[in-house]
Structure 1
Amino acid sequence: MEISTIGLDLAKNVFQVHGISATGEVVLRKALRRSQMLPFFEKLPPCLIGAEACGTSHHWARELTRLGHEVRLMPAAYVRPYVKRGKNDAADAEAICEAVTRQTMRFVPIKSREQQAALSLHRVRSLLIKQRTQLVNMLRSVLAELGIAIPVGIVRALQIAREIVDGEPKLDLPTEATNVVAVLAGQLLQLHTQLRKLDLRLAALQRNDERARRLATIPGIGPVGATALAASVTDPSQFSSGRQFAAWLGLTPRQSSSGGKERLGRITKMGDRYLRQLLVIGATALVRYAKEKPATVDPRFVTLLARKPARVASVAIANKMARMAWALMARGGVFERGHAPMLAGA
């Protein structure tokens, strides 16, 4: 009996396959080693293959698509309800096989190697920022224990680190403490240098990417945010509106409605946390500009700040930025101040 649909549970070395026929009968249950994956699917006639969007999933999706199969990736959270009982690879593969045939299932577009390479720059940058923060905090705590306080701010911390590495000023510290502080200061400066190089690479990437250049015209979105959005959103047409895109990023209120009564809570914080974080940081900068230089930002932001607390306003502005980003990716063009929004269905 010919296989029409396959549920593929991905892993590092052992992959579980669950295949069914066009009538829904189970045709195949099989575990494959990594070396057996491509030879096995090369022998199969073209079929529909479902898999969870996880680590390595985009790589395998590209490889299986090259062999002529139709591959659909799904969020793991949407597959979980189809697991009948227990938790093992065979049950997961069966659940994936059933979920991929659902008409209402949502799928994740397959990313290219270039998109994944761009996102790897962002992941490394995020990691180095966390490590830099850890080093600054450790340097502050060591010096504070010995009676030396570093002023607030990353700029002042880096300045102190440079002075320590250069031997100025002469700190009256025990020998062991001097050695520890020198190690921390040296690592901090090295990390900061690597971060500056990554920022330059992202700026160059933004200049060479047509979509990222257009996204960077939106106030509050710089090279980092523009390249992250361009690499993360493979197909903007999968979202029917800017609001749906903002909801995908977790920037819309959580609903708890029943009996015709609408109750809206805090934002859902679902979806890509990194993109949401970048948008909120950019919106926070706009809030600061709105307070210091109101003429430099959209008048609606100033009005919003007059009615809402700064943190609430920054999230609302991030939601607006997400909608504008979707409009530019889906319809083309660049940001125009004072542009009238297109009506739904127009």
Structure 2
Amino acid sequence: MTAIDILGIDIAKNVFQLHGADRRGRPVFKRRVMRDQLLGVLSGIEPCTIAIEACTGAFCWARKFEELGHRVKIVSPQYVKPFVRGQKNDGNDAEAICTAVRQPHIPLVPKRTKEQQDIQALHRARQRLVNHRTATICQIRGLLLDRGIAFGKSITKARRMVPDILSDMNNELSEMARDAIAELWDLFCNLDRRIISFDKKIEAVFRASPTCQRIAKIKGVGPKTATAIVAAIGDGREFRDGRHLAAWLGLVPRQHSSGDKRVMLSISKRGSQHLRTLLVHGARAVVRTAPNKDDQMNVWVNDLRERRGFNRATVAVANKNARIIRAVLRTGEPYRAAI
């Protein structure tokens, strides 16, 4: 059999489709294997480049493939789809993965270690609880508003007012409604305790990581942002420069240009919504507090805010922070703020 140069694998739960191509791109290997057979089949193949899509289990499989001596490339599904020929099936998907990874312009997904995935699991679990907490307080607000009782949207006001509303026996709440809302409030308080527990775990990860502490020196970057960034991109070696990272995070404008006419639209919102949200929230704090400061960074922020408005200035600061983060990760040097 001709030597395999690139082996595309369509990952699934139980059935895996393999498509191997030689250096000229000609198919030389096609096989469908079960989950428990995959590593045995790959151990019998000479070391080559294995291409897989970024999906659930991709990073775990990548580590196992590398232990067998193979080189692994992970590509985003959005870059594979244009190369699917004919109908969609496992064989065509594996061939498309093999074709996509051969293109020099296709960006690769950064691989992650077990430690990075552990940190990411903390963030994902915490975000799930935050979403449930938001949904719970919104339902409480709706039920109370239905009885003519209203309070502000902030979660701080909810913590202050809901216990008083439940303890007030002279309002419009019936006994049945009061019990239902009390159960929801108990769920809210339980979610609050669980979120605080995750915050402590993330804080412990932050204190144990010198890399995260270097990143946190940047204005607008805190422990949660620093740990989430390190969990997602590691040392940033997959990115050519800072702008590449900012584009990967979706913090650069979308283009709709033709000929000499260039139209720049809103940000692309590609990549991880969680990372982008953390960077934007941190940047919002920087822009909000900038008028009280007169250093070089804040002078730039204030000028930008005056010319382009609060929201555009916020995204610009988030973009700038992403570029600085990439530089700090790649050089290994501490962040030095401009004076």
- TM class, shorter-chain normalised? over 0.9
2:28 corresponds in structure 1 to 27
Q: Hey, what's the Cα distance between the residues in 1 that align with 2:169 and 2:208?
A: 47
Question: What are the within-5 Å matches in structure 2 for residues 169-184 of structure 1?
Answer: 169-170=168-169, 172=171, 173-184=173-184
The residue type paired with residue 282 of structure 1 is G
TM-superposed CA distance for 1:161, in Å, is: 4.3
1:168 corresponds in structure 2 to 167
- Other structure's SS at 1:236 match: coil
Q: Hey, what's the Cα distance between the residues in 2 that align with 1:20 and 1:327?
A: 37
1:109 corresponds in structure 2 to 110
Q: 141-150 or 15-24: which moved more? A: 15-24
Shift in CA distance, 67/264, structure 1 to aligned 2, threshold 3 Å: same
Question: What are the within-5 Å matches in structure 2 for residues 90-239 of structure 1?
Answer: 90-163=91-164, 168-170=167-169, 172=171, 173-239=173-239
- Other structure's SS at 1:50 match: strand
The higher-RCO structure (CA 8 Å, 6+ apart) is 2
Q: Hey, what's the Cα distance between the residues in 1 that align with 2:31 and 2:163?
A: 59
CA contact under 8 A between 1:248 and 1:271: conserved in structure 2? yes
2:48 corresponds in structure 1 to 47
Q: Hey, what's the Cα distance between the residues in 1 that align with 2:187 and 2:41?
A: 48
TM-superposed CA distance for 1:259, in Å, is: 2.1
CA contact under 8 A between 2:218 and 2:337: conserved in structure 1? no
Question: What are the within-5 Å matches in structure 2 for residues 246-261 of structure 1?
Answer: 246-261=246-261
CA contact under 8 A between 1:9 and 1:52: conserved in structure 2? yes
TM-superposed CA distance for 1:54, in Å, is: 1.2
TM-score using structure 2 length: 0.93
The residue type paired with residue 167 of structure 2 is E
Q: Give runs of ≥4 in structure 1 deviating > 3 Å.
A: 21-25, 160-164, 167-172, 294-297
CA contact under 8 A between 1:251 and 1:315: conserved in structure 2? yes
TM-superposed CA distance for 1:201, in Å, is: 1.1
- Gap regions ≥5 residues in structure 1: 340-346
Equivalent pairs, count: 336
Question: What are the within-5 Å matches in structure 2 for residues 268-287 of structure 1?
Answer: 268-287=268-287
Q: Hey, what's the Cα distance between the residues in 2 that align with 1:337 and 1:48?
A: 42
Q: Hey, what's the Cα distance between the residues in 1 that align with 2:104 and 2:312?
A: 37
1:56 corresponds in structure 2 to 57
Shift in CA distance, 149/73, structure 1 to aligned 2, threshold 3 Å: same
- Other structure's SS at 2:51 match: strand
Q: Hey, what's the Cα distance between the residues in 1 that align with 2:243 and 2:90?
A: 36
Question: What's the RMSD between the two structures over aligned residues?
Answer: 1.8
The residue type paired with residue 332 of structure 2 is G
Cα distance per residue 1:101-135 (max 9 Å; x no partner): 22333212221011011001111111111111111
Q: Hey, what's the Cα distance between the residues in 2 that align with 1:220 and 1:128?
A: 24
TM-superposed CA distance for 1:24, in Å, is: 3.7
TM-score using structure 1 length: 0.92
The residue type paired with residue 168 of structure 1 is S
Percent pairwise identity: 37
Cα distance per residue 1:4-59 (max 9 Å; x no partner): 12110001111111123345442322221111111211222212111111111101
The residue type paired with residue 289 of structure 2 is Y
2:241 corresponds in structure 1 to 241
- Other structure's SS at 1:118 match: helix
Q: Hey, what's the Cα distance between the residues in 2 that align with 1:67 and 1:161?
A: 58
- Other structure's SS at 1:238 match: coil
- Gap regions ≥5 residues in structure 2: none
